[in-house]
Amino acid sequence: MAIEPYRYLEQLAQHMDTLHTAEQIHKALDELDFVYEALPPEHQDLATPLIQQLTARLQQCRPS
């Protein structure tokens, strides 16, 4: 099955609000890392805001 990185980015952006647990966020970040590598270098910046948002959410999940 071929990966469709642009479709994945769009779907993830639409479903960001459904990711609440650290496990869900870790899974999304792992998938996003794979997608990031599949993108042409000139389009990798499309994934950067999602990575930043997920990383911030993950920090909120962790106990202080």
Asked whether 57 and 26 are in contact (CB, 8 A), the reply is no
pLDDT at position 2 is 62
Q: What is the pLDDT of residues 14-52, one digit of tens each?
A: 999 999 999 999 999 999 999 999 999 999 999 999 999
Do the Cβ atoms of 47 and 17 come closer than 8 Å?
no
String of DSSP letters for 4-59 = -HHHHHHHHHHTGGG--SHHHHHHHHHHHHHHHHHS-GGGGGGTHHHHHHHHHHHH
Residue 1 has pLDDT above 50, yes or no: no
Q: Is the pLDDT of residue 8 over 60?
A: yes
